[in-house]
Amino acid sequence: MKPAPDPELISAVMTTADAFLRASQRLFRPLGLTAAQYNVLNLLAAQPDGITQRELGDLLVVDRSNVTGLLDRMGASGWVRRADDPEDRRAYRVRLTPAGRTLWSKAEPRYRAVAAQVVGGLGAAERTLCLEALRQMEQAAVRWSSPET
């Protein structure tokens, strides 16, 4: 028998996500960034050859149309560049520009410092359990929201 859903757990996850969003807004606003833009910079910083716009959308877990607008704004700010993908004429590869890498290098240590404060009170075993539980919930939410194939 499956355990009954725990509304308190779901509420706590949502409340925590909202708290993280508010904190990230305070953290990134002085740099002229949003949390979503930081996520893009962070993902692209680890990909010197860039990634396709579709791959970026999958990693961000957002709708493709939202990625397009986000990249349009970031491109206008000079932080990312889109170019045709030489392996797939239907796709764009997205890369950080030097300005985007500079901005990421300013934002990333600030983010790491705050993240260390947030999880600093948890032991290694607690962090592992928490991460496993969150990944299971994420996968279940993705399965629920994905169209049946």
Q: What is the pLDDT confidence band of residue 66, given thresholds at 50, 70 and 90?
A: confident
Cβ proximity of 32 and 99 under 8 Å: no
Spatial CA neighbour of 59 closest among 145, 126, 142: 142
Residue 149 has pLDDT above 60, yes or no: no
Domain span at 91: 7-145
Determine, yes or no, domain membership for 2: no
* Vertex 115: Cα angle to 121 and 35 (nearest 5): 145
How many folded domains does the chain comprise? 1
Count other C-beta atoms under 10 Å from residue 8's C-beta: 8
Determine, yes or no, domain membership for 86: yes
pLDDT, average across residues 117-138: 91
Determine, yes or no, domain membership for 112: yes
> Measured in whole angstroms, how far is the alpha carbon of residue 128 from the centre of its chain?
20
Which pLDDT does position 4 carry in this prediction?
Answer: 63
User: Who has greater pLDDT, 126 or 85?
Assistant: 126
Spatial CA neighbour of 36 closest among 53, 19, 60: 60
Mean pLDDT is lowest, of 7-16, 83-92, 130-139, for: 83-92
* CATH of residue 123: 1.10.10.10
Mean pLDDT is lowest, of 59-63, 83-87, 101-105, 118-122, for: 59-63
Residue 119 has pLDDT above 50, yes or no: yes
Does an H or E element contain 81, and which? strand 80-85
Q: What is the pLDDT confidence band of residue 133, given thresholds at 50, 70 and 90?
A: very high
Query: What does the longest C-alpha to C-alpha distance in the chain come to?
Result: 55
Which pLDDT does position 3 carry in this prediction?
Answer: 66
Count H helices, E strands: the chain? 6, 3
User: Model's pTM, two decimal places?
Assistant: 0.81
User: Who has greater pLDDT, 45 or 85?
Assistant: 45
Determine the Cα–Cα distance for residues 31 and 87; give it in Å rounded to an integer.
35
